[in-house]
Amino acid sequence: MNSTGTNPLRKRGTLHSIEIFRLDRDGLAQHLESIAEILLACVHDGANVGFVSPFDLNQARAFWVQKIAPGLVANTRVVLAAKVNDQVAGTVQLNLDTPPNQPHRADVSKLLVHPKYRMLGVGRALMEQIESYGLNAGRRLLTLDTATDIAEKLYISLGYERAGHIPGYAREPHEERFVGTTIMYKVIR
């Protein structure tokens, strides 16, 4: 990643340029349709990120406007987005709203990459940048949870460690089946 937040990479014979940028309240409004579509596509693809079917674009928009925008206004949440060849392809969040006894910690959440942009390095690029924002905010411990066996390999490759596993933690988005989650953490420097 260079200083402009652009990372050119070659995958499947095509050169892809990944640009990472931070969304503020205005940026969220400007990119609302794109990030709502990413959330919708991920849920429809089976991502266990807090939503169940039926789930539509209006619900995806409402999540960003009602749940995420207030944290942007309060400066307690960082939202990054990634573009691949000028198309918004993914997003990740850093929740800085921790209790007073945890000013050194932040929670990574909702790493979402549109299914058509997976395996291009978008998730890795977003995670590397969100860690930089954590460091700049004085946070030295990042925590996250992920559906067991889904994105764990990515997080482990980035230096995250497993803290534990909770079976039957969340319902699958498309069926009445419950799956486990893995709690992970990383000390960043």
Mean pLDDT of 101-122: 97
Q: Does residue 108 fall inside a structural domain? A: yes
Q: Does residue 116 fall inside a structural domain? A: yes
Count of domains forming the chain: 1
Q: Does residue 106 fall inside a structural domain? A: yes
- Consecutive H or E run containing 123: helix 122-136
- Whether residue 6 has pLDDT greater than 60: no
| Per-residue confidence band for 149, with pLDDT thresholds at 50, 70 and 90 | confident
Query: Contact 127/18 with Cβ under 8 angstroms?
Result: no
Helical spans, DSSP H, in 23-121: 25-30, 32-44, 57-62, 69-74
DSSP-derived secondary structure letter, 1:
-
Q: Does residue 181 fall inside a structural domain? A: no
Nearest to 124 by CA among 38, 23, 1: 1
Domain holding 98, by residue range, is 6-140
DSSP-derived secondary structure letter, 100:
T
Mean pLDDT of 93-99: 98
Q: What is the pLDDT of residue 7?
A: 56
Q: What is the pLDDT of residue 78?
A: 98
More confident position, 162 or 12: 162
The CATH number of whichever domain residue 92 belongs to comes to: 3.40.630.30
Query: Contact 7/121 with Cβ under 8 angstroms?
Result: yes
Q: Does residue 154 fall inside a structural domain? A: no
Q: What is the pLDDT of residue 169?
A: 96
Least confident of 1-15, 25-39, 126-140: 1-15
CA distances from 84 to 26, 46, 187 (A): 21, 22, 29
Q: Does residue 180 fall inside a structural domain? A: no
